[in-house]
Structure 1
Amino acid sequence: MTDEEIQEIGDQIVRVVKTIYDPEIPVDIYELGLIYDVFVNDEKEAKILMTLTSPNCPVAESLPREVEDKVKSLPNIIDCEVEITFDPTWTQEMMSEEAKLELGML
């Protein structure tokens, strides 16, 4: 695959991730800053490095599965793995300006 094709698949992944919302905060997980990185290889496998708002997050089991399932539903993706990390720990500073505006923090 070309770099352009990989970039396009990465953009598609970001678009689908933006349809997933944190159940406690009315902002999508991408704008919340929970997605740290998205990788796509030549075999059309995706790996997403993400965090949760806290280690005790009530959706710690279901949210990563939802991300995997939605990304796997993309026609250009054969497989997806989500890795959860708490390094660095998520803070409100990781939210986009859009998220902060939505939550009345600006």
Structure 2
Amino acid sequence: MTAQQLEDEVVRTIKTIFDPEIPVDIYELGLIYEIRITEDNEVTVVMTLTTPNCPSAEELPREVEDKVNAIEEVKKTDVVITFDPPWDKDMMSEEAQLELGFL
């Protein structure tokens, strides 16, 4: 699997994770800021939450880590939470904005 194929698989996997309060996956919500993959197939996902006191603050990062780690080629996954910049609804994809009635 090439690096691009692995990144695509990581994105596909992340798109199966939904914020329990919003019917849109966390990738389309704009909660994923960066995905880094080393030559050794170690993955770092830099993400945020909709608010610093989000009720899913413990669940979502753990779910990202568990699901990305389940990809056979991935050796290790680290999830880094940041609030810089803070999440804003404008970070959502057009698809997510349509789904939630913002467009």
Is the TM-score greater than 0.5?
Answer: yes
The answer to whether the aligner puts 1:52 opposite 2:49 as a matched pair is yes
- Of 71, 93, 99, the residue aligned with 1:74 is 71
* 1:37 aligned counterpart, secondary structure: strand
Partner residue, 2:7: 10
Q: Tell me the distance in 2 between the aligned counterparts of 1:99 and 1:6.
A: 27
Query: Which letter maps to 1:13?
Result: V
Within-5 A mapping of 1:16-55? 16-55=13-52
- TM-score, reference length from structure 2: 0.98
Instruction: Provide the C-alpha distance between the structure 2 equivalents of 1:15 and 1:67, rounded to a whole number of angstroms.
Output: 12
User: CA offset at residue 33 of structure 1?
Assistant: 0.1
| Structure 1 segments of 4+ aligned residues over 3 angstroms from their partners | none
Point out where structure 1 has 5 or more consecutive residues left out of the alignment: none
Task: Write the distance in 1 (CA, Å) between the matches of 2:79 and 2:4.
Answer: 19
Gaps of 5+ in 2: none
What is the identity percentage for the equivalent residue pairs of Structure 1 and Structure 2?
A: 58
CA RMSD of superposed structures (Å): 0.9
